[in-house]
Chain A
């Protein structure tokens, strides 16, 4: 405990911590945003085309099985980015989160009752607007559950990127290990947990704004 206080007493260290935290937020949440868009588009595809659904589910399952460190290393070999580029981490986490979200989104779209879409059509909604105004909002609770799982997993996985030269809070772990110094490691773990907690609370808040009907009947 005393070690941690000593470590934090230096203003330069605190500034560096803030930089790492911000980079961590960027590296973990950018993939989340991108993959929500991708998952909605791919989920729509899977909803319309049964063979695409099977192919996407198979690909997603295999992708999800590949350990993060291995995926971080394979991506530059496949797409030709620099080995130490943080884009590798962003792309890998985007793939994981999209793999996590596609199927629930497709299932949620499948579950929209036919009479609801028929009513929307009868009211004059064209397909694009009907999708954006009726079908997609009904999928929000499912999407939100997946995004919450994805955000926790991304926030935890970004640190592994420190092994291949990416910034973020993971640098605290490699630095702490090299100097045989527990304080930065403890701070890194605590900040990661706090970040995951704060982001999760924000996601719950956002879900309740986007799908207020799910609150009906709750105290």
Chain B
């Protein structure tokens, strides 16, 4: 029974101490994810807000970010790792590249989707462009923006596991090592840990989202994720438009 072996691996004290223990790998995994999401947010949030606010370059942005969505994660990680001559920099850049499109889509769709009547009312009240952006558009965009951050986190957590293939000590390591030495308990145990980490992080961000999103703007749980993706898909022109 594979799950019994996986459980035995998960509770074996040997795996909970030392430099290659589960806690160390969880820590490394989280550090990569945190760095990548923060880096990507620093690029994508201002860009998405700017494009959503001015309405300039939206078509280009949606097309470009959908093209990035089709990038194979393993290909990008191996490519950048070799290109940068090894080390963590290549992996980190790959994670940032993959985290940018969902955040960008969330920020752009959030600002762009604000009811025009609301924005016009703000303009009619004499608000300047900056006031409209910060006091009207950004608060209204928060549900989709947070949704975008959640999607980016999921993408990064998944890719950081894949990146163990090039040698970084993330949670993908025990899974891939288990497969190599045919230790299926470790293989499945590692997979369970990755899944748990992803589900917990997502729940955590959902909680944060509830705290920061103004009351009255809360979307139902299911419409969030699809909202971002389908909004991005729908905002696309059909003539020659494509997600790749």
- Which residues of A are interface residues toward B (Cβ below 8 A)? 57, 60-62, 64-74, 76-77, 83, 100, 103-104, 145-146, 148-149, 151-153, 155-157, 159-160, 162-164, 169-170, 172-174, 176-177, 180, 182, 185-186, 188-189, 192-201, 204, 208, 218
Contact = CB atoms under 8 A, between A and B. Distances in A.
B94 to A, nearest CB: 11
B70 A69 contact: no
A156 B72 contact: yes
A201 B242 contact: yes
Given A70-B175, A77-B188, A77-B191, 6 more contacts: A61-B221, A103-B226, A146-B226, A156-B69, A192-B72, A193-B244
B242 A173 contact: no
B224 to A, nearest CB: 9
Contacts of B70: 152, 155-156, 192-193, 196-197
A69 B233 CA distance: 26
A210 B78 CA distance: 40
B195 A182 contact: no
A100 B233 CA distance: 14
Interface string B44-81: 00000000000000000000001101111111101101
Contact of A61 (B194, B222, B229): B222
Given A73-B190, A74-B191, A83 B74 contact: no
B78 A173 contact: yes
B162 A69 contact: yes
B179 A188 contact: no
Given A73-B191, A149-B229, A163 B72 contact: no
Given A152-B243, A193-B70, A177 B78 contact: yes
B199 A65 contact: yes
Interface of B is mostly: helix
B233 A67 contact: no
Given A65-B154, A77-B3, A103-B226, A200 B243 contact: yes
A155 B67 CA distance: 12
28 contacts: A57-B222, A61-B222, A62-B199, A67-B194, A68-B158, A70-B191, A70-B194, A71-B195, A72-B191, A73-B190, A74-B192, A103-B222, A145-B230, A149-B229, A152-B70, A156-B72, A160-B73, A163-B176, A170-B72, A176-B78, A176-B82, A185-B79, A185-B82, A192-B71, A197-B70, A200-B243, A201-B242, A218-B238
B242 A204 contact: yes
B198 A156 contact: no
Interface in B141-200: 154, 157-158, 161-162, 165-166, 172, 175-176, 179, 184, 187-188, 190-192, 194-195, 198-199
A84 B192 CA distance: 18
Contact of B161 (A70, A77, A170, A196): A70
A67 B69 contact: no
Contacts of A180: 82
A164 to B, nearest CB: 6
B83 interface: yes
Contact of A66 (B199, B222, B226, B230): B199
Residue in B72, B78, B194, B243 with the greatest tally of chain A CB atoms within 10 Å = B72
B74 A149 contact: no
B82 A182 contact: yes
Contacts of A218: 238
Contacts of A62: 199
A71 B187 CA distance: 11
A203 to B, nearest CB: 9
Given A74-B191, A149-B229, A69 B82 contact: no
Contact of B179 (A68, A164, A185): A164
Contacts of A157: 73
A99 B176 CA distance: 26
A156 B75 CA distance: 9
Nearest to B160: A67
B233 A77 contact: no
Nearest to A64: B225
Contacts of B154: 64-65, 67
Contact of B242 (A153, A170, A197): A197
